[in-house]
Amino acid sequence: MSIIHILSESVANKIAAGEVVERPASVVKELLENSLDAGAKRVEISVEAGGKRLIRIVDDGQGMTHDDALLAFERHATSKIRSAEDLFEISTLGFRGEALPSIAAVSRLVLETRHASENSGTRVEIAGGKLRDVKEVAWPQGTCIEVRDLFFVTPARRKFLKSESTELGHVATLATHYALAHPEKSFRLTSLTNEILNVPPVASHRERLYQVMGGQTLEQLLEMTPVERRVLTAILPESGEPEEPSTEAPLIRVQGFISRPEVQKLNRNNIYFFVNRRLVRDRLILHAITEAFRNILPPGVFPIALIFLEIPPTEVDVNVHPSKTEVRFRHGNFVHDLVRDSIRQTLLATRPVAAFPMSRSAPPAGLAVEAADVADALAEEPPLMRAATIPPPPPRPSAPGTSRDFNLSPPRLEPRAQRLPLDSALAPYAPVAPSGAFPAAPANAEEAIQTPRELPLDLQPLGQVQESFIVAVNAEGLWIVDQHAAHERVLFDRHVRRRQDKKVEVQRLLMPIIVQLKPEQQVVYQAIAEELGANGFEVEPFGQRTVAVKAAPADLPADEVEKLMIEILEGASREGSALSLDELRGRIAASISCHAAIKVNMELKHKKMDWLLQALGGTDCPMTCPHGRPTVLRYGMKDLMKAFKRI
Ligand code: ADP
Ligand code: MG
């Protein structure tokens, strides 16, 4: 007896759904793509319960005839390709003929549609993959699809969905980015209580960016001059004159926006890449972007980038992944270099002044000459001017599996003093403090400076290095304290205590600070508004996707309020994970203390240094800042003796 059998169509559809439909946002993606493929000029999306209860998409595209409306739910039914050859020249967003049957297999779906060639529309109702009803209805041209109770047939799958606000955030991000890629179309996204996005058609990506992200984001961005190149130019001529690219060669066009170098994001969430207006993830392009920013951004921080690539369909294979989010380029290296060079050109043309010190390590071999130029130019600036803009160093990448942004599990004191190599302890500020400044003990220079286990209370401050690090002594040796990190720790402890006691001190702002939110930030804002209130913020809605901050936690300089709000919203919306309330509180406290803390390059009076050292000693965990970086380094008596060869 044979034990192999062919799966029924309904099982096959559920399997396909597993690949294509991960969450409400993936349903929205497929339906949006269908609407755009159908030539819609206007797409309206409404969701309830983050899309878990309802997703409804209405478009004014070409619609479907009665017969097509039924055929569309068959597996591998598509109007977009006919033969295998067509796979190599796909100009539509869809082509697999899988989305509608997959979605219908795991939800209750109603389709209403009318094609211009027919007088009446068609209504099709399907639940859990079973056809329930088909009838004639009156319907204007175009299509409406309603998807209710996603995964009601697969409760196990439903459990994997995150909170409503997280899912809504994903939907908002998705709709936002399709809106960015299609400025000539109008998009609207609403939840039961809110209009999250509403953008009428505009003429350029720039105007669309302004509609969607607001003027403040636009100010952080540089628009790239569109670059067009024929693929053959990539092939270097063996000798002599550059070869004339043949007019037959495929033409590739890059345009988009990148952030100014002073904008530093803690994750890659703000990097978006579109190939022929399809939003994709692509490691090659990510690499090209990182390369372009090399030595302009410090390692571990990321820019904002929106890159639009237009490329003949024959040059790119989109049939790589069921959800069509990955692509393969025929001339990958060419595309990589084109993207990297276009970004770099933009960065250099605008002669950005970087707001951080350059790493002293030699540029890696093969680095474009221009990068070294920027580095040199920066190195020539007077140290003080440069120091004035030193931001706190980016958090160290934490262990895999933990948050990249913050590490708020109470920093453990290592059983043994953690040893910091000289280089990593001092390198970020190396241009003004040459590493030779410290006498290095011959064999174990790297181990001489260490983060001690406990902070004694009898430290005598002597002064500051570069108005950034406090130098102190006691009988045990020499101590160096990062004044920003130390103050951060002090403020963090105090804020956490006050938040627990519900006694956060509040300052009213003279003028409310207006903050524009991106669609997904608005979703996050609504989810955490109450917690923001408990942390000393008084925030009120102020027009569409704009809020007015009227009061903020005491101690916070007014010009930090906006940055802080955005940082909190971004930190609270990390990809894929809903934060627990504890995590959220920890992050808010860390952000507040970071923005309120004494900065680097700030002169401190002796009394203030004394106070800071005492206050630090009184905290629960004086050795690390709330982000997990060390606050104090020690150069012990023994190390000194050794270094001077006295022992
Ligand atoms: P694919 O997009 O890969 O072709 P789908 O399952 O997403 O597969 O859709 C099947 C077919 O249904 C499409 O090829 C298209 O002809 C039709 N269709 C789906 N959505 C729409 C829409 N909003 N407007 C018009 N036709 C649509
Ligand atoms: Mg489709």
Which residue has a Cα nearest atom 19 of ligand 1?
Answer: 34
Average pLDDT over residues 303-319: 92
Q: Which ligand is nearest to the CA of 57?
A: 1
Measured in Å, residue 202 CA sits from the centre of ligand 1 at 26
Confidence of residue 371 (pLDDT cuts 50, 70, 90): very low
Confidence of residue 408 (pLDDT cuts 50, 70, 90): very low
80 lines ligand 1 (CB under 6 A): yes
Look at residue 596 in the predicted model and tell me its pLDDT.
92
Measured in Å, residue 287 CA sits from the centre of ligand 2 at 29
pTM value is 0.67
Residue 635: pLDDT over 90: no
At residue 147's C-alpha, the angle toward residues 143 and 150, to 5°, is 160
Alpha helices in 353-469 (DSSP H): 369-379, 383-388, 422-426, 445-448
Look at residue 152 in the predicted model and tell me its pLDDT.
92
Q: Which atom of ligand 1 is nearest to the CA of 62?
A: 25
198: β partners: 188
Sign, CA dihedral 321-325-327-332, equals negative
Q: Which atom of ligand 1 is nearest to the CA of 35?
A: 23
Helices (H) and strands (E) in the chain, counts: 20, 23
79 lines ligand 1 (CB under 6 A): yes
13 lines ligand 1 (CB under 6 A): no
Look at residue 636 in the predicted model and tell me its pLDDT.
85
Measured in Å, residue 186 CA sits from the centre of ligand 1 at 20
Query: Cα–Cα distance between 622 and 488 in angstroms, integer?
Result: 10
Query: Cα–Cα distance between 528 and 568 in angstroms, integer?
Result: 10
Which residue has a Cα nearest atom 20 of ligand 1?
Answer: 34
Look at residue 356 in the predicted model and tell me its pLDDT.
31
Is residue 7 exposed (0-12), middle (13-18) or buried (19+ Cβ within 10 Å)? exposed
Q: DSSP states of 112-180 as a string?
A: EEE-TT-SSEEEEEEETTEEEEEEEE---SEEEEEEESTTTT-HHHHHT---HHHHHHHHHHHHHHHHH
Amino acid at 601: N
Contact status, residue 523 vs residue 555, Cβ threshold 8 Å: no
CA atoms lying within 13 Å on the CB side of residue 400: 0
73 lines ligand 1 (CB under 6 A): no
Residue 437: pLDDT over 80: no
Residue 315: pLDDT over 60: yes
Query: Cα–Cα distance between 149 and 147 in angstroms, integer?
Result: 7
Residue 82: pLDDT over 90: no
Structure tokens at 311: 């490329």
Structure tokens at 620: 């629960």
Sign, CA dihedral 536-542-548-550, equals negative
Question: 3-state DSSP call for residue 275?
Answer: strand
Residue 221: pLDDT over 60: yes
Look at residue 264 in the predicted model and tell me its pLDDT.
81
Which residue has a Cα nearest atom 18 of ligand 1?
Answer: 34
Average pLDDT over residues 128-137: 95
Look at residue 430 in the predicted model and tell me its pLDDT.
22
Measured in Å, residue 271 CA sits from the centre of ligand 1 at 29
Measured in Å, residue 70 CA sits from the centre of ligand 1 at 11
Instruction: Note the pLDDT tens digit of each residue in 174-216.
Output: 999 999 999 999 999 999 988 999 999 999 999 999 999 888 8
Query: Cα–Cα distance between 516 and 220 in angstroms, integer?
Result: 13
Query: Cα–Cα distance between 392 and 429 in angstroms, integer?
Result: 11
234 lines ligand 1 (CB under 6 A): no
Look at residue 452 in the predicted model and tell me its pLDDT.
61
Residue 404: pLDDT over 50: no
Measured in Å, residue 34 CA sits from the centre of ligand 1 at 5
Query: Cα–Cα distance between 547 and 529 in angstroms, integer?
Result: 11
115 lines ligand 1 (CB under 6 A): no
CA atoms lying within 13 Å on the CB side of residue 488: 27
Confidence of residue 505 (pLDDT cuts 50, 70, 90): very high
Residue 496 makes CB contacts below 8 A (sequence gap 6+) with: 585, 586, 589
Amino acid at 380: E
Structure tokens at 66: 């009665």
Is residue 299 exposed (0-12), middle (13-18) or buried (19+ Cβ within 10 Å)? exposed
Residue 383: pLDDT over 60: no
81 lines ligand 1 (CB under 6 A): no
142 lines ligand 1 (CB under 6 A): no
CA atoms lying within 13 Å on the CB side of residue 561: 30
Mean pLDDT of the chain: 80
256 lines ligand 1 (CB under 6 A): no
Residue 434: pLDDT over 50: no
Look at residue 242 in the predicted model and tell me its pLDDT.
52
Q: Which of 433, 414, 411, 413 is nearest to 423 (CA)?
A: 433
Which residue has a Cα nearest atom 17 of ligand 1?
Answer: 72
Residue 405: pLDDT over 90: no
Average pLDDT over residues 275-302: 86
Measured in Å, residue 251 CA sits from the centre of ligand 1 at 29
Whose tokens are 């023994």? That residue is 638
Query: Cα–Cα distance between 378 and 87 in angstroms, integer?
Result: 49
38 lines ligand 1 (CB under 6 A): yes
Look at residue 578 in the predicted model and tell me its pLDDT.
61
Instruction: Note the pLDDT tens digit of each residue in 527-554.
Output: 899 999 999 999 998 888 899 999 999 9
Instruction: Note the pLDDT tens digit of each residue in 462-484.
Output: 999 999 999 999 988 899 999 99
Measured in Å, residue 221 CA sits from the centre of ligand 2 at 33
In 424-530, beta strands by DSSP E: 449-450, 460-465, 469-474, 477-482, 506-516
Look at residue 615 in the predicted model and tell me its pLDDT.
92
Instruction: Note the pLDDT tens digit of each residue in 507-531.
Output: 998 888 999 999 888 888 988 999 9
Query: Cα–Cα distance between 422 and 426 in angstroms, integer?
Result: 6
Query: Cα–Cα distance between 93 and 553 in angstroms, integer?
Result: 47
Whose tokens are 């350029």? That residue is 204
Element (H, E) at 451: none
Instruction: Note the pLDDT tens digit of each residue in 224-272.
Output: 989 999 986 444 444 445 555 566 788 999 999 999 877 888 888 889 9
Which residue has a Cα nearest atom 2 of ligand 1?
Answer: 94
Look at residue 294 in the predicted model and tell me its pLDDT.
78
Contact status, residue 122 vs residue 66, Cβ threshold 8 Å: yes
Measured in Å, residue 323 CA sits from the centre of ligand 2 at 10
Instruction: Note the pLDDT tens digit of each residue in 332-359.
Output: 999 999 999 999 888 877 654 433 333 3
Task: Indicate the pairing of strand 54-59 with strand 108-114.
Answer: unpaired
Residue 27 makes CB contacts below 8 A (sequence gap 6+) with: 21, 51, 55, 103, 107, 147, 150
Is residue 171 exposed (0-12), middle (13-18) or buried (19+ Cβ within 10 Å)? buried
Distances (CA, A) of 227 to 46, 146, 265, 335, 646: 37, 41, 26, 12, 64
564 lines ligand 1 (CB under 6 A): no
Confidence of residue 373 (pLDDT cuts 50, 70, 90): very low
Element (H, E) at 515: strand 506-516
Q: What values do phi and psi take at 237, rounded to 5?
A: -65, 150
473 lines ligand 1 (CB under 6 A): no
Confidence of residue 143 (pLDDT cuts 50, 70, 90): very high
Q: Which atom of ligand 1 is nearest to the CA of 145?
A: 23
Share of the chain above pLDDT 90, in %: 47
Residue 104: pLDDT over 90: yes
Element (H, E) at 51: none
Look at residue 125 in the predicted model and tell me its pLDDT.
98
Which residue has a Cα nearest atom 14 of ligand 1?
Answer: 78
521 lines ligand 1 (CB under 6 A): no
Q: Which ligand is nearest to the CA of 97?
A: 1
Query: Cα–Cα distance between 36 and 33 in angstroms, integer?
Result: 5
Measured in Å, residue 377 CA sits from the centre of ligand 2 at 51
Which residue has a Cα nearest atom 25 of ligand 1?
Answer: 63
